[in-house]
Structure 1
Amino acid sequence: SPLPRPRMHPLKPGGQRESELIRYLDHGIKRVQKRVDNRVTNQQTKPTTGEDQGYGAFWEVAKDVDSLVDVVWVSGSPNLQIPYLLNLAVLTAEFLPLFNSSNSPRAIFRLLSKLDYAFASLLLGRDLATGELLSGFEHDRSMSTTDKVRLKGIVDRTRLVVVRVMAIASVDGDDDIPEPMDTDTETEQEAGASRQGGTVSFEGFENNDSDEEDDEWEERNIASVYEKTIGELGDVLGGPPIGIITDD
């Protein structure tokens, strides 16, 4: 499981520990939002003493959000897990387009994979991998229909956002690639090209296979965004799983 082991019993509603956790989570979320807001300001002026440094890349955002996901999951309290994870998922979708994602793909997919696992487990009321009953889901408790509908909207939106930001990242990366060269012999020699095994290789293009592997890895991860949650939502809301095209 990508998530830490939760408490065996939920926190007492209205108790001191729950109140402390709520304050901690609210402060953490506000700090993340503030650092996102400061991302542009701090590029122009240095942060003042006591001011939160603006994020420079999305992987920094993902690191802080990831920590908050772990904390709320450990609470073992569905009344906290569901609303806070929904909120963190919304913020993730909102913040993604604000950064150049070309240097943060692994952080993006790692965070989304963790959220996916959490939501799928909450929909089941059991740990997705072990089948162990989650704390607070005794007596056939489940997510409310309202929360499920909201989650569906978040899933749909996030999948679209990821496709767009990764496409933009790919275009931005292409700016550094030289335009295609002519393939006639004279041009090849002038450009430093050589023939090996019947193929033409250009200096600086030796790692094309690696680039293709990266593209395939990225495509697989884009397709798997909220994949587990989609399957569970398709069952609980009725009809085919969301995002899967079926024949009429």
Structure 2
Amino acid sequence: MPISSPILESAPGGFLPPSHAAHSPHYSSSPRIVSSSTRSRPLPAPTKKQLNPRATSSLIRYLDNALLEASRLHIQRAEGGGYRSVSALVGDLEQLVDLLWKSSIPSLQVQYLLQIANSFNEYLAGYQINNEQEWYDVFALLDKLDRCFYELITTRTTDRAVMNMTEKVRLKSVVERTRIHVVKLSECGDRETPDPQTPRAKDVGVKGEVGPPTSTDADEMDVDQDGEYKDDDDLTWEIDVASVYERTLQEIGDELIIQSS
């Protein structure tokens, strides 16, 4: 059940009434690719005009209500009235991430993105992730959050850093717990072995065309530390898992080391 946003559906040129422009950080919406297998979806372009107080209040009310609705749908997932899959949850949360990024309000971005990241980590255990498309959606949302947090950590306004030390410590905790959680989920056997006759998510193009089948020849396989062959799917999977919040963890680790020294 998607969460409809009147803010996202408003007229072009600004999703809420503009006010006098003020100092606002400019964030890049271009993804930093960690590996060829990174699941990336574009972030919307941030608005160039600062929101007025009334519009900001409306945005806060909408975010609060949308997060409560997501929580309700998550709780009711087993009763037939909530989310039917993790992909439905991802769809609603990703819409909120995009809305926050478009708002260009650093204080709200930090507060609500932390809440979304923490909630998503807690919700994940409630879903059986059975196919590659669902894993694709999970990795795509985590990658988008990673890019947002990286920009917030590395961006400064005219007089101060966007994120304070308390927020960075909290973020580091969420990141580390999520990385551990994803590893545990992947080790629980939830990842379905793709049927060789079934198109895989990564073989489907933008318009739905199916690419050529992946070869499983020995020359396209690697050997793990136990001496066993691993095909490209296993290697790609390990890279995806290792890339969860990779940018953020590296940057925030360096930041905390500098601050504590």
138, 160, 172: which one aligns with 1:152: 172
| Cα displacement string for residues 160-197 of structure 1 (whole angstroms, at most 9, x for unaligned residues) | 11001121234x747x9xxxxxxxxxxxxxxxxxxxxx
Matched residues in 2 for 1:169 and 1:19: separation? 44
The secondary structure found in structure 2 opposite 1:238 is: helix
TM-score by length of 1: 0.69
Matched residues in 2 for 1:38 and 1:167: separation? 26
Residues 1:71 and 1:118: Cα distance change in structure 2 (over 3 Å): same
Residue identity matched to 1:5:
A
1:143 correspondence with 2:163? yes
Moved more, 3-12 or 77-86: 3-12
Residue identity matched to 1:87:
Q
8 Å Cα contact 1:10/1:78 also seen in 2: no
Matches within 5 A, 1:48-197: 53-103=81-131, 104-125=134-155, 137-170=157-190, 173=192
Q: Give 1:98 shift.
A: 0.7
Residue identity matched to 1:124:
T
TM-score by length of 2: 0.66
Q: Report the equivalent of 1:242.
A: none
1:217 correspondence with 2:221? no
Residue identity matched to 1:74:
K
44, 68, 82: which one aligns with 1:4: 44
Structure 1 unaligned spans of 5+: 43-52, 127-136, 177-205, 240-248
The secondary structure found in structure 2 opposite 1:82 is: helix
8 Å Cα contact 1:102/1:166 also seen in 2: no
Q: Report the equivalent of 2:3.
A: none
Over alpha carbons, which structure has the higher Rg?
A: 1
Q: Give 1:101 shift.
A: 1.6
Give the share of equivalent positions with the same residue, in percent: 37
Q: Give 1:215 shift.
A: 2.0
The secondary structure found in structure 1 opposite 2:75 is: helix
Matched residues in 2 for 1:148 and 1:142: separation? 10
8 Å Cα contact 2:153/2:161 also seen in 1: no
8 Å Cα contact 1:4/1:73 also seen in 2: yes
Residues 1:17 and 1:235: Cα distance change in structure 2 (over 3 Å): same
1:238 correspondence with 2:257? yes
8 Å Cα contact 1:101/1:166 also seen in 2: no
Structure 2 unaligned spans of 5+: 1-29, 31-41, 196-212, 218-229
Which structure has more helix as a fraction of its residues?
Answer: 1
Matched residues in 1 for 2:72 and 2:216: separation? 41
1:31 correspondence with 2:63? no
Q: Report the equivalent of 2:58.
A: 20
Q: Give 1:9 shift.
A: 4.3
| Cα displacement string for residues 84-131 of structure 1 (whole angstroms, at most 9, x for unaligned residues) | 0000000110011110123211001000000000000000017xxxxx
Moved more, 113-122 or 3-12: 3-12
8 Å Cα contact 1:100/1:169 also seen in 2: no
Matched residues in 2 for 1:16 and 1:143: separation? 24
Q: Give 1:82 shift.
A: 0.2
Q: Report the equivalent of 1:188.
A: none
Q: Give 1:139 shift.
A: 2.4
Over the aligned positions, Cα root-mean-square deviation in angstroms equals 2.3
